[in-house]
Amino acid sequence: MIRRFLPGLWWVLLSGCSSVDYYGQLASGQWQLLQAREPVAKVIADPARPQQLREHLVQSQKARTFASEQLHLPDNQSYRLYADIGRPYVVWNVFATQEFSLSAQNHCFPIAGCVAYRGYYSQGAARGEAALLKQQGMDVSIGGVEAYSTLGWFNDPIMSSMLGWGDERLATLIFHELAHQRFYVKDDTEFNESFATFVEQEGTRQWRAARGLAPIGSAALQQRDQFTQLVLDTRKRLETLYAQPLAADAMRRAKAAEFERLRSEYRRVRDSQWGGDTRYDAWMNLPMNNARLLPFGLYDQWVPAFAALFRQEGGDWLKFYAAVERMGQLPVAQRKAALRQLEGVGR
């Protein structure tokens, strides 16, 4: 699964942290990205640029206007600029957990707060970090990332890495990243990403409706939701397992059995309910560990709660955002309790 990432930005160099090399690559990568930006309108007007690129950017600006005018997302220069970064992903995330834990190894930054991953502008550097963590006995996963938000500190560009999956995917990325600019709670990745994922999903539904397109096929949505639920159920079983007083060897065997159960249940659902659709096979067939499950809890956990809140506010975006902001100001325990209550309402 490809997900978005908010990296520590160049000013974290001022934090006095000793990881100079890591922060140096963040500063260099962000600076290079800023330098590569150019107005989308300029690219569209240039007949020397590839026609397909220009057509993608024309469509992107329609979605960008819709985001501000209809979804009430920030109206600024973000995603009205373009940057050709010359690689498939802008950054690579490194997730890590202890061998018998689903708690992410967090990394904290002065502005963004604590997040559950470390990002690298070089795939080689990400692999090097992952290798070191594996030597320490950690469960590790690397994922390429198409886009990220700087929370409005810079005007974020449409990057060439965002164009590979078509115009609708590009629109969803714009909605998601602008949601981060609309509201962000420091030190609560699950809240932030679930909020942005809901805005992305509901925004895409409204964007399709505004263009007279049918809703995304219910079969595809059902498959996505079933797949996600299979992974979340596995997370819950593993959390219960890791709380048991088992010896390490017994814990490893039980852990491996849970991952095999996930694969078995996936194959059963795929073959009996999806007509053998193999869209998730590639993800499922890779080696499994705790770190590979982390994005599901981070990006999907509270989406049903935000959907319930949106309905509760009558589908009014401004009222919804105001309610999200009030919730975000609550102490973390009260915030999670409010989300759990909404999640129950949404079922």
Q: Identify the band that residue 92 occupies on the pLDDT scale cut at 50, 70 and 90.
A: very high
For the residues 18-32, what does the mean pLDDT come to?
85
Residue 5 pLDDT > 60? no
Strands 81-83 vs 158-159: parallel, antiparallel or unpaired: parallel
Domain assignment present for residue 1? The answer is no
- CA 28, chain centre distance (Å): 23
More confidently predicted of 295 and 217? 295
What's the confidence (pLDDT) of residue 112? 66
Q: Which two tokens stand for residue 310?
A: 């949106």
Report the C-alpha gap between 227 and 219 in whole angstroms: 12
In this predicted model, what pLDDT tens digit does every residue of 50-76 receive, in sequence order? 999 999 999 999 999 999 999 999 999
175 with 274, same domain: the answer is no
Q: Identify the band that residue 137 occupies on the pLDDT scale cut at 50, 70 and 90.
A: very high
77 with 197, same domain: the answer is yes
127 with 248, same domain: the answer is no
Domain assignment present for residue 3? The answer is no
- Full-model pTM: 0.85
Q: Identify the band that residue 12 occupies on the pLDDT scale cut at 50, 70 and 90.
A: very low
173 with 29, same domain: the answer is yes
Domain range holding 268?
A: 218-300
What's the confidence (pLDDT) of residue 301? 83
In this structure, the number of other CB atoms found within 10 A of the CB of residue 165 comes to: 12
How many domains in the chain?
Answer: 3
Question: What is the four-CA torsion angle of 103, 185, 221, 289, rounded to 10 degrees?
Answer: -20
Residues linked to residue 118 through DSSP beta bridges, in sequence order? 94
Domain assignment present for residue 121? The answer is yes
**Contact yes or no for 58/158 (Cβ under 8 A):** no
273 with 307, same domain: the answer is no
User: Which of 164, 183, 210 represents a domain boundary (last residue)?
Assistant: 210
87 with 29, same domain: the answer is yes
Residue 321 pLDDT > 60? yes
198 with 240, same domain: the answer is no
134 with 19, same domain: the answer is yes
- Looking at 146-150, 153-157, 173-177, 238-242, which range is the least confident one? 146-150
246 with 332, same domain: the answer is no
What's the confidence (pLDDT) of residue 1? 38
Domain assignment present for residue 4? The answer is no
Per-residue CA distances from 260 to 139, 287, 292 (Å): 17, 11, 14
How many Cα atoms occupy the beta-carbon half-sphere of 4 within 13 Å?
30
User: Which of 187, 210, 233 represents a domain boundary (last residue)?
Assistant: 210
What's the confidence (pLDDT) of residue 21? 85
Domain assignment present for residue 32? The answer is yes
201 with 318, same domain: the answer is no
What angle, 0 to 180 degrees and rounded to 10, lies between the N-to-C axes of helices 290-300 and 189-210?
60
Report the C-alpha gap between 140 and 94 in whole angstroms: 7
User: Rounded to 5 degrees, what angle do the CA atoms 66, 50, 179 make?
Assistant: 25
48 with 143, same domain: the answer is yes
Domain assignment present for residue 2? The answer is no
For the residues 292-306, what does the mean pLDDT come to?
86
What's the confidence (pLDDT) of residue 2? 39
More confidently predicted of 168 and 106? 168
User: Which of 210, 229, 255 represents a domain boundary (last residue)?
Assistant: 210
SS (H, E, C) the chain: CCCCCCCCCHHHHHHCCCCHHHHHHHHHHHHHHHHHCEEHHHHHHCCCCCHHHHHHHHHHHHHHHHHHHCCCCCCCCCCCEEECCCCCCCEEEEEEECCCCCCECCEEECCCEEECCEEECCHHHHHHHHHHHHHCCCEEEEEEECCCCCCCCCCCCEEHHHCCCCHHHHHHHHHHHHHHHHCCCCCCHHHHHHHHHHHHHHHHHHHHHHCCCCCCCHHHHHHHHHHHHHHHHHHHHHHHHHCCCCCHHHHHHHHHHHHHHHHHHHHHHHHHHCCCCCCCHHHHHCCCCHHHHHHHHHHHCCHHHHHHHHHHCCCCHHHHHHHHHHHHCCCHHHHHHHHHHHHHHHC
Residue 217 pLDDT > 80? no
What's the confidence (pLDDT) of residue 237? 98
Report the C-alpha gap between 167 and 189 in whole angstroms: 27
92 with 223, same domain: the answer is no
What angle, 0 to 180 degrees and rounded to 10, lies between the N-to-C axes of helices 167-182 and 189-210?
130
Domain assignment present for residue 255? The answer is yes
Domain assignment present for residue 175? The answer is yes
